[in-house]
């Protein structure tokens, strides 16, 4: 047997050894990460919600009013572009698809009835899937930013994985309302959203991801405010209040010499 043929025979064995060693290293590296127990509890009371600085809701410190912060680079009123003035309520075009209204007096074909049944089954499947993952978050990661579905670990996203503004909960509010989960919506708003403190972070973290805070927190609050009835909705006051607080907070990221936003913002340096 030649040297070349022997090397060809042993090459698969060498590849298997390399794969085995790589998998072993990956296993020991990942197993060293801190993780919370996997979700095993049945539905029931949630763990107590803690604020962003790690204290219980009853121990929250006074909140900082971001609207009172003095700007380092204020904009002159002469440079502000005034908003357009409208008489009455401005007309805003709808972007949602307009589904046809079925005529209940018109006889429908078997095909149309089948399509309607299929749509109803798909809606029910989507609602059951959402309910399942929401209850997992509710019982395992209440008030936290995110939940890993397999390991059950929770993580924070806006403050370098250290603090929480309940990102998953906030950006799920509009979906809950649209799907008809009104009790879950009310519970999330009253128990978590109403107590969010945008002037606190745990472990002294002072860098915030402005993109995530804008799109997921501010956007989630405004979307929930809109779909839940706007100013006339049952949760209008708390949702609009928190949206304004987040908006005032984020304005500090635009307080630069050229008014360009800072992506990873040192918000504490902006205040103190």
- Residue 98's Cβ-count burial label (10 Å; 0-12, 13-18, 19+) is exposed
- What proportion of the chain, given as a percentage, has pLDDT over 90? 30
The answer to the question of residue 168 being in a domain is: yes
Residue 205: which pLDDT band, with cuts at 50, 70 and 90?
Answer: low
Give the pair of three-digit tokens for residue 257: 């010499």
Q: Tell me, what DSSP letter sits at residue 208?
A: E
What are the pLDDT digits (tens) for 137-191?
Answer: 999 888 888 888 888 887 765 544 445 688 999 999 999 999 999 999 999 999 9
| Mean pLDDT, residues 208-230 | 92
Q: What is the CATH number of the domain that holds 145?
A: 1.50.10.10
Q: Is residue 205 part of a domain?
A: yes
Q: Is residue 96 part of a domain?
A: no
**Residue 207, strand partner residues:** 266
* Nearest residue to 169 (alpha-carbon basis) of 151, 185, 152: 185
In a domain, 41, yes or no: no
Q: 155 phi and psi, to 5 degrees? A: -145, 160
Confidence of residue 80 (pLDDT cuts 50, 70, 90): confident
- Note down the domain range covering 118: 109-272
Predicted TM-score (pTM) of the model is 0.69
Asked whether residue 156 is assigned to any structural domain, the reply reads yes
Give the count of domains, the chain. 1
How does 162-174 read in b/e, with b if 16+ C-beta sit within 10 Å? bbbbbbbbbbbbb
Is residue 85 in some structural domain?
Answer: no
Would you say residue 89 lies in a domain? no
The yes-or-no verdict on residue 222 having pLDDT over 90 is yes
User: What 3-state class would DSSP assign to 154?
Assistant: strand
Least-confidence region, from 40-49, 114-123, 207-216, 222-231: 40-49
SS3 assignment for 79-144: HCCCCCCCCCCCCCCCCCCCCCCCCCCCCCCHHHHHHHHHHHHHHHHHHHHHHHHHHHHHHHCCCC
Considering the domain boundaries, does residue 173 fall inside one? yes
């Amino acid at each position: 047997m030649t040297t070349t043929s022997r090397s060809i025979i042993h090459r698969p064995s060498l590849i298997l050894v390399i794969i085995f060693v790589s998998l072993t290293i990956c296993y020991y590296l990942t197993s060293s990460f801190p993780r919370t127990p996997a979700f095993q509890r049945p539905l029931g009371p949630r763990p107590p919600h803690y604020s962003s600085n790690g204290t219980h809701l009853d121990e929250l410190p006074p909140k900082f009013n971001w609207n009172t912060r003095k700007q380092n680079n204020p904009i002159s009123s002469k440079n502000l572009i005034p908003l357009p003035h409208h008489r009455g309520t401005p007309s805003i075009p709808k972007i949602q698809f307009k589904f046809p209204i079925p005529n209940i007096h018109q006889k429908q074909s078997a095909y149309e009835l089948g399509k309607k049944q299929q749509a109803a089954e798909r809606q029910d499947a989507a609602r059951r899937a959402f309910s399942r993952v929401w209850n997992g978050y509710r019982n395992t990661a209440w008030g936290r930013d995110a939940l890993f579905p397999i390991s059950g670990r929770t993580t924070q996203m806006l403050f370098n994985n250290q603090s929480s503004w309940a990102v998953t909960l906030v950006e799920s509010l509009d979906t809950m309302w649209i799907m008809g989960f009104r009790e879950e919506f009310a519970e999330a708003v009253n128990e978590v959203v109403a107590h969010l403190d945008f002037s606190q972070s745990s472990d002294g973290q002072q860098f915030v991801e402005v993109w995530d805070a804008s799109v997921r927190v501010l956007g989630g609050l405004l979307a929930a405010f809109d779909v839940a009835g706007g100013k006339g909705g049952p949760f209008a006051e708390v949702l609009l209040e928190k949206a304004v607080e987040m908006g005032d907070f984020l304005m500090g990221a635009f307080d630069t010499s050229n008014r360009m936003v800072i992506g990873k913002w040192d918000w504490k340096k902006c205040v103190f």
